[in-house]
């Protein structure tokens, strides 16, 4: 096992992703995850409520990256500029040393329709929260939702490109490309 993170939570996350990729999520037990990570089951439950939380844990923290970015944008920033600030805030969080883990996670999720749905709902929730943050800034509907949802489409595409085999460019870079592409398309 490659110990790409020194802490127990990181080892557990890596072990779970490897086992999910090898055996599928259903066939993987918490006992097997703990064993591969070299910790007890009790330690697993100190970090995660259940095995799926390894894939979808901390939705609040994840969505918060986007929302804080929107809130921190210049007061006179246009709606899509504020959304871009949200995407940048999230992109900066996913540094290149997180790419291998994200790649493995994407492989697992893409292989399970139920997990892909949950991922879709998770991103839709982030979009709803960014739209709410835009309305707090005085952006009216439907503009707020359109800007937020278009931004989510950009992030989704950039993330898929970031974890694609052989990709070496950073997520922040790919996100900027996507924002440029969105502007070009809507022109």
Instruction: Provide the binding-site residues for its own copies, judged by CB under 8 A.
Output: 78-80, 117, 120-121, 124, 141-143, 145-147, 149-150, 152-154, 156-158, 161, 177-178, 181-187
CB of 174 to its own copies, least distance (A): 9
Closest by CA to 81, choosing from 90, 72, 92, 91, is: 72
Q: Determine whether 56 is exposed, middle or buried from the number of CB atoms within 10 Å of its CB (0-12, 13-18, 19+).
A: middle
Closer by beta carbon to its own copies, 50 or else 181: 181
Closer by beta carbon to its own copies, 69 or else 178: 178
The residue behind tokens 């489409």 is 153
Q: Quote the strand ranges of 53-155, DSSP E.
A: none
CB of 66 to its own copies, least distance (A): 16
CB of 7 to its own copies, least distance (A): 34
Q: Which contacts qualify for 97-100: CB closer than 8 Å, 24 or more apart?
A: 97/4, 99/162, 99/163, 100/2, 100/4
Closer by beta carbon to its own copies, 83 or else 108: 83
Closer by beta carbon to its own copies, 24 or else 142: 142
CB of 133 to its own copies, least distance (A): 15
Closest by CA to 6, choosing from 54, 39, 41, is: 39
Closer by beta carbon to its own copies, 39 or else 158: 158
Closest by CA to 112, choosing from 12, 32, 182, 27, is: 27
CB of 19 to its own copies, least distance (A): 27
């Amino acid at each position: 096992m490659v110990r790409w993170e020194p802490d127990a939570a990181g080892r557990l996350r890596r072990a779970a992703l490897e086992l999910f990729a090898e055996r599928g999520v259903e066939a993987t037990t918490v006992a097997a995850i703990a064993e591969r990570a070299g910790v007890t089951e009790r330690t697993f439950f100190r970090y995660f409520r259940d095995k799926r939380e390894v894939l979808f844990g901390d939705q609040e923290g994840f969505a918060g990256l986007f929302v804080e970015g929107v809130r921190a944008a210049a007061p006179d920033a246009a709606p899509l500029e504020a959304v871009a600030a949200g995407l940048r805030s999230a992109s900066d969080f996913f540094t290149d040393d997180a790419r291998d883990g994200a790649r493995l996670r994407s492989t697992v999720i893409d292989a399970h329709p139920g997990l892909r749905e949950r991922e879709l709902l998770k991103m839709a929730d982030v979009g709803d929260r960014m739209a709410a943050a835009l309305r707090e800034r005085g952006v009216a509907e439907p503009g707020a939702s359109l800007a937020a949802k278009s931004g989510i489409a950009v992030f989704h595409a950039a993330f898929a490109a970031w974890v694609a085999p052989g990709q070496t460019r950073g997520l922040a870079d790919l996100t900027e490309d996507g924002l440029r592409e969105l502007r070009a398309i809507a022109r």
